[in-house]
């Protein structure tokens, strides 16, 4: 049921007011990372390795430094030594040490008085390399004879005998696998592959850093998490976190790719070397593709057993994932936890390995790991359904995880909305729409567990009763609106009377980034608690004014009221009246809440897509697309729908066109949007959405994070739709026209 049809009793929750950042963004007033300037500012350029794997023999910057206007050149020699663990990995990725590990790896950086001069100077920095053998494919990287990229990196979990590029191993499961497969009427197994894809945010990475000889610095940056930027940059530069203040700019998309550092410490190190002058560093699109984190590429084995009635009796997966030349970047844990999360299966086995390859350091990308896992498992479920003549939604409902079922990764589910989502998808007109020649329908379900994380929020009542809310989670997808709605609902005041500000690292306790679909959940929960604290104080002020006990005061409709006839008869004191008199009643009125909120609610969804495939070209056209997902409670339904649509579109791009293409030389071949094809509006129909609401009991308004689940089902749903349209099952992404055409011809139908 769509949110707008529900009667929740809320005044504001579930309405669609104007977005608070709308005017700034459409008029160009919003300040993004590259818009920040400062007096005396320098511009930076980065020298990057043209080789996938090469030893750095010598760096000669003398010609660059001789150019008038060049103020500083840095190499790894300008960074502190002795770092360990992830701090060392961050430093190593920020600036290569002895070895360049991928095409695009930074090896030097220069600051100059203009951007063009900095770029010219970068060309004059001479780097001598000894080229080393490289490997970029995940299966090739763990095959005998593959070059060992970082020997000795494997953790103790890796079984003996595996290639040194295999650095982590995970397994878990439950039930009697052999008995489960023996009980099935049909057992099928296959291998599926996905390529690395980039988050594709519109705004390239950009920052302005300033650091003096005293080691105290400032940074303005487009990021999903200013405290992460502070902690990571401080670690890489060997300074104390408190000596770096980080202010987030407006952000033009992140999708996980802006939860870490890539080049930010370079601007600070250049600034320090240039006598403290601020240094701006803005990546080109090519640099974004070559040197910031895409997601992992995968190779995945899946085996599932099913009875004739659709009951899944057993499942087994073995995932191989590479996330570049740095450990810890392949989302194998997440992929395994999501693989069978939509199902209640008596016997499951999960295994995965993380593999190093000569590619850039991967970063989180919207539900990291889940889309790949879904592509493998949901595609195989569809293959079994088709072979047994079963309805794909009915089969998913038959095996669906429900309230109280043991999840595939162990714990029991609390209150979840998978069944409601599948039933809503089945009831939607799209599921009954007639299909023509060369057209097919695909269905898939999806899951993301969502996240809480460190959260700190402050709120202040103004002298006129309006309210400022200070939060630490950058507004990537509409959280200012949802936080303002929840705050206004709690305080009983108009939405327009609340302004939500995204603040710098000096203004609040540590906040995790806007990631894990947590901003509306976690910052929202904290904002509600902060508002309740302020309400308590305003009730105490009213009680003092009336000379009654604070317990005899209640808050409703934006004002303090005597609580019942025994409290006495007093006219209500509004928030504006209390705010106006705060100077004489005890001083400023504020609320604050900080926690690592529990009660995170997982979000399930189901997608239905119809496609038409041109049998002569292999081109796939999306005819209609439906996203159904459990939001818990949609605070601002338009933003929820936007998240659903955005996730679906990114997933469609991943399924059809997007991929990192490496040449035999290990260099990235398609590092601009002309060659890396993302879907644009003219490629797609309007994405239909249905918001299911199974409220999360762990949030005061029932919120579940909604940002990530939507990218999970499109990969298998698209593959199944193409299989239905052509009879050809593609198990390797992307399903670009040449691959689809080849598959059609292989089936003898072309």
Partner 1 sequence: MVEVNLWSGLRRLTDGAQVVSVEGTTLREVLRNLAVTHPALEPTLKSGVSVSLNGVIETNLSTPISAGDEVYLIHRVKGG
From 282-290, 383-391, 406-414, 540-548, give the range in contact with partner 1 by CB under 8 A.
Answer: 406-414
If one asks whether residue 411 binds partner 1 (CB under 8 A), the answer comes out as yes
Peptide bond into 281 cis (omega under 30): no
Q: At closest approach, how far in Å is the CB of 516 from partner 1?
A: 3
Helix axes 370-388, 714-726, angle to 10 degrees: 30
Q: At closest approach, how far in Å is the CB of 171 from partner 1?
A: 5
If one asks whether residue 365 binds partner 1 (CB under 8 A), the answer comes out as yes
Q: Closer CB to partner 1, residue 431 or residue 654? A: 654
- Length in residues, the chain: 750
Q: Closer CB to partner 1, residue 17 or residue 328? A: 328
3-class DSSP assignment, residue 467: strand
Q: Closer CB to partner 1, residue 43 or residue 518? A: 518
Q: Which of 611, 676, 608 is nearest to 644 (CA)?
A: 608
Q: What number of CA atoms fall less than 13 Å from residue 24's CA on the CB side?
A: 10
Q: Closer CB to partner 1, residue 129 or residue 172? A: 172
Question: What is the contact mask toward partner 1 in residues 683 to 722, using x (rule: CB under 8 A)?
Answer: ---------------x--------xx--------------
Q: Closer CB to partner 1, residue 254 or residue 558? A: 254
> Who contacts 202 (Cβ-Cβ below 8 Å, separation ≥6)?
252, 253
Q: Closer CB to partner 1, residue 76 or residue 366? A: 366
- 398-426 core/surface letters (b: 16 or more CB in 10 A; e: else): bbbbeeeeebbbeeebebbbbbbbbbbbb
Q: At closest approach, how far in Å is the CB of 418 from partner 1?
A: 14
The footprint of partner 1 on residues 187-246 (CB under 8 A) is 199
Give the C-alpha separation, 584 to 245, whole Å.
35
Residues forming beta bridges with residue 440, ordered by sequence position:
611
From 72-80, 91-99, 358-366, 713-721, give the range in contact with partner 1 by CB under 8 A.
Answer: 358-366
Single residue of 200, 248, 256, 579 touching partner 1 by CB under 8 A:
256
If one asks whether residue 654 binds partner 1 (CB under 8 A), the answer comes out as no
Single residue of 209, 516, 637, 734 touching partner 1 by CB under 8 A:
516
Spatial contact of 685 and 307, defined as CB atoms under 8 Å apart? no
Single residue of 193, 518, 541, 667 touching partner 1 by CB under 8 A:
518
Give the C-alpha separation, 262 to 218, whole Å.
17
Q: Closer CB to partner 1, residue 149 or residue 648? A: 648
If one asks whether residue 596 binds partner 1 (CB under 8 A), the answer comes out as yes
Which residue has 């309740």 as its token pair?
A: 532
If one asks whether residue 288 binds partner 1 (CB under 8 A), the answer comes out as no
If one asks whether residue 368 binds partner 1 (CB under 8 A), the answer comes out as yes
If one asks whether residue 259 binds partner 1 (CB under 8 A), the answer comes out as yes
Q: At closest approach, how far in Å is the CB of 319 from partner 1?
A: 14
Give the C-alpha separation, 641 to 47, whole Å.
42
Single residue of 61, 167, 296, 367 touching partner 1 by CB under 8 A:
367
Return left, alpha or beta for 411; rule: phi > 0 is left, psi -120 to 50 is alpha, else beta. beta
If one asks whether residue 511 binds partner 1 (CB under 8 A), the answer comes out as no
Single residue of 30, 65, 131, 170 touching partner 1 by CB under 8 A:
170
From 138-146, 359-367, 372-380, 713-721, give the range in contact with partner 1 by CB under 8 A.
Answer: 359-367
Helices assigned H by DSSP within 215-295: 226-237, 264-273, 285-291
Single residue of 278, 294, 417, 597 touching partner 1 by CB under 8 A:
597
The footprint of partner 1 on residues 139-168 (CB under 8 A) is 157
Q: Closer CB to partner 1, residue 128 or residue 155? A: 155
From 11-19, 140-148, 515-523, 529-537, give the range in contact with partner 1 by CB under 8 A.
Answer: 515-523
Q: Closer CB to partner 1, residue 249 or residue 260? A: 260
Indicate the helix (H) or strand (E) that contains 190. strand 186-194
From 140-148, 250-258, 577-585, 616-624, give the range in contact with partner 1 by CB under 8 A.
Answer: 250-258
From 229-237, 314-322, 331-339, 725-733, give the range in contact with partner 1 by CB under 8 A.
Answer: 331-339
Sheet hosting strand 54-60, strand order edge to edge: 99-100, 54-60, 126-131
Cα dist from 81 to 77, 109, 261, 421, whole Å: 9, 18, 18, 52
Single residue of 103, 195, 334, 382 touching partner 1 by CB under 8 A:
334
Q: At closest approach, how far in Å is the CB of 170 from partner 1?
A: 5
Give the C-alpha separation, 415 to 49, whole Å.
50
| Burial of residue 35 (number of CB atoms within 10 Å: 0-12, 13-18, 19+) | middle
Which value, to the nearest 10 degrees, does the dihedral of the CA atoms of residues 366, 370, 372, 378 take?
A: -130
CA 598 to chain centre: 20
DSSP assignment of 649-702 = HHHHHHHHT----B-TTS-BS--STTTS----GGGSPPEEEEEE----TTSTT-
Q: Residue 552 is encoded by which pair of tokens?
A: 């005899």
Give the C-alpha separation, 634 to 1, whole Å.
12
If one asks whether residue 412 binds partner 1 (CB under 8 A), the answer comes out as yes
The footprint of partner 1 on residues 100-119 (CB under 8 A) is none
If one asks whether residue 449 binds partner 1 (CB under 8 A), the answer comes out as yes
Q: At closest approach, how far in Å is the CB of 148 from partner 1?
A: 24
From 12-20, 255-263, 426-434, 724-732, give the range in contact with partner 1 by CB under 8 A.
Answer: 255-263
If one asks whether residue 612 binds partner 1 (CB under 8 A), the answer comes out as no
If one asks whether residue 451 binds partner 1 (CB under 8 A), the answer comes out as yes
Give the C-alpha separation, 245 to 219, whole Å.
6
If one asks whether residue 652 binds partner 1 (CB under 8 A), the answer comes out as no
3-class DSSP assignment, residue 344: coil
Give the C-alpha separation, 634 to 642, whole Å.
12
Q: Closer CB to partner 1, residue 85 or residue 212? A: 85
3-class DSSP assignment, residue 441: strand
Single residue of 14, 324, 392, 452 touching partner 1 by CB under 8 A:
452
DSSP 523: I
Q: What angle do CA 95, 100, 105 make, to 5 degrees?
A: 55
If one asks whether residue 361 binds partner 1 (CB under 8 A), the answer comes out as no
Q: Closer CB to partner 1, residue 579 or residue 646? A: 646
If one asks whether residue 669 binds partner 1 (CB under 8 A), the answer comes out as no
Give the C-alpha separation, 71 to 274, whole Å.
6
If one asks whether residue 436 binds partner 1 (CB under 8 A), the answer comes out as no
If one asks whether residue 453 binds partner 1 (CB under 8 A), the answer comes out as yes
Q: Closer CB to partner 1, residue 20 or residue 707? A: 707
Single residue of 10, 88, 413, 570 touching partner 1 by CB under 8 A:
413
Spatial contact of 696 and 601, defined as CB atoms under 8 Å apart? yes
Strands 439-448, 348-355: pairing kind: unpaired
Spatial contact of 103 and 667, defined as CB atoms under 8 Å apart? yes
If one asks whether residue 521 binds partner 1 (CB under 8 A), the answer comes out as no
Neighbours of 644 (CB within 10 A): 27
Single residue of 389, 598, 674, 682 touching partner 1 by CB under 8 A:
598
From 35-43, 237-245, 442-450, 484-492, give the range in contact with partner 1 by CB under 8 A.
Answer: 442-450
Q: Closer CB to partner 1, residue 156 or residue 437? A: 156
Q: Closer CB to partner 1, residue 174 or residue 398? A: 174
Q: Residue 652 is encoded by which pair of tokens?
A: 């469609």
Residues that bind partner 1 in the complex, under the rule CB under 8 A: 157, 169-173, 199, 254-257, 259, 331, 333-334, 337, 363-368, 404, 409-414, 448-453, 512, 515-518, 595-600, 698, 707-708
């Amino acid at each position: 049921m769509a949110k707008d049809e529900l009667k929740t009793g809320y005044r504001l929750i579930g309405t669609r007011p104007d977005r608070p950042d709308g005017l700034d963004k459409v008029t160009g007033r919003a300040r993004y990372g590259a818009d920040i300037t400062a007096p005396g500012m320098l511009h930076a350029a980065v020298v990057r390795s043209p080789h996938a794997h090469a030893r750095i023999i010598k760096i000669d910057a003398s010609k660059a430094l001789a150019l008038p206007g060049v103020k500083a050149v840095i190499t790894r020699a300008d960074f502190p030594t002795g770092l360990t663990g992830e701090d060392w990995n961050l430093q190593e990725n920020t600036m290569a040490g002895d070895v360049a590990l991928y095409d695009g790896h930074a090896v030097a950086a220069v600051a100059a008085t203009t951007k063009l001069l900095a770029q010219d100077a970068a060309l004059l920095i001479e780097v001598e390399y000894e080229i080393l053998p490289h490997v970029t494919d995940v299966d090739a990287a763990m095959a005998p004879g593959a070059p060992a990229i970082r020997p000795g990196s494997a953790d103790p979990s890796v079984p003996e005998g595996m290639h040194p590029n295999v650095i982590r191993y995970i397994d878990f499961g439950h039930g009697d696998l052999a008995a489960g497969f023996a009980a099935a009427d049909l057992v099928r197994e296959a291998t599926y592959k996905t390529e690395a894809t980039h988050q594709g945010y519109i705004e390239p990475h950009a920052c302005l850093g300033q650091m003096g000889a005293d080691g105290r610095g400032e940074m303005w940056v487009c990021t999903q998490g200013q405290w992460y930027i502070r902690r990571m940059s401080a670690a890489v530069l060997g300074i104390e976190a408190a000596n770096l203040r980080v202010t987030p700019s407006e952000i033009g998309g992140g999708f996980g790719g802006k939860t870490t550092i890539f080049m930010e410490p370079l601007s600070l190190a250049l600034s320090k070397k240039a006598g403290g002058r601020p240094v701006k560093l803005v990546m080109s699109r090519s640099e974004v593709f070559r040197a910031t984190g895409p997601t992992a590429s995968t190779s995945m084995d899946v085996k599932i057993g099913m009875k004739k009635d659709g009951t899944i009796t057993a499942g087994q997966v073995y995932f191989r994932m590479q996330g570049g030349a740095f450990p810890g970047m392949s989302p194998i844990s997440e992929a395994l936890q999501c693989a069978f999360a939509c199902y209640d299966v008596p016997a499951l086995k999960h295994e995965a390995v993380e593999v190093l390859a000569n590619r850039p350091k991967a970063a989180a990308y919207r539900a990291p790991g889940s889309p790949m896992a879904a592509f493998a498992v949901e595609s195989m479920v569809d293959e079994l359904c088709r072979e047994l003549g079963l309805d794909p939604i009915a089969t998913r409902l038959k095996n669906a995880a429900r309230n109280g079922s043991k999840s595939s990764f162990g714990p029991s589910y609390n209150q979840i909305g998978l069944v409601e989502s599948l039933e809503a998808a089945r009831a939607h007109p799209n599921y009954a729409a007639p299909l023509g020649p060369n057209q097919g329908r695909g269905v898939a379900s999806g899951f993301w567990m969502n996240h809480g994380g460190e959260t700190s929020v402050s709120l202040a009542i103004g002298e006129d009763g309006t309210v400022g809310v200070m939060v630490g989670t950058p507004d990537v997808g509409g959280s200012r609106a949802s936080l303002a709605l929840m705050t206004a609902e709690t305080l009983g005041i108009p939405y327009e009377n609340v302004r939500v500000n995204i603040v710098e690292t000096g203004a609040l306790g540590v906040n995790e980034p806007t990631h894990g679909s947590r901003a509306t959940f976690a910052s929202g929960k904290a904002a509600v608690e902060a508002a309740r604290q302020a309400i308590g104080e305003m009730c105490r002020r009213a009680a003092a004014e009336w000379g009654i006990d604070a317990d005899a005061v209640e808050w409703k409709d934006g004002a303090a009221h005597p609580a019942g006839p025994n409290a006495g008869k007093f006219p209500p004191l509004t928030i504006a009246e209390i705010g106006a008199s705060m100077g004489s009643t005890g001083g400023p009125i504020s609320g604050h809440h900080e926690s690592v909120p529990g009660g995170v609610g997982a979000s399930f969804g189901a997608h239905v897509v119809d496609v038409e495939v041109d049998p002569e070209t292999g081109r796939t056209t999306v005819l209609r697309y439906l996203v159904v997902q459990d939001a818990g409670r949609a605070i601002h339904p338009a933003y929820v729908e936007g998240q659903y649509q955005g996730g679906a579109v990114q997933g469609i791009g991943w399924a059809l066109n997007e991929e990192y293409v490496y040449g035999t030389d290990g260099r990235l071949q398609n590092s601009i949007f002309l060659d890396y094809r993302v879907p644009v509006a003219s490629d797609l129909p309007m994405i239909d959405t249905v918001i299911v609401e199974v409220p999360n009991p762990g949030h005061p308004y029932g919120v579940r994070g909604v940002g990530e689940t939507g990218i999970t089902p499109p990969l298998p749903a698209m593959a199944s739709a193409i299989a239905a349209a052509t009879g050809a099952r593609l198990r390797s992404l992307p399903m670009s026209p040449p691959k689809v055409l080849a598959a059609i011809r292989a089936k003898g139908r072309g």
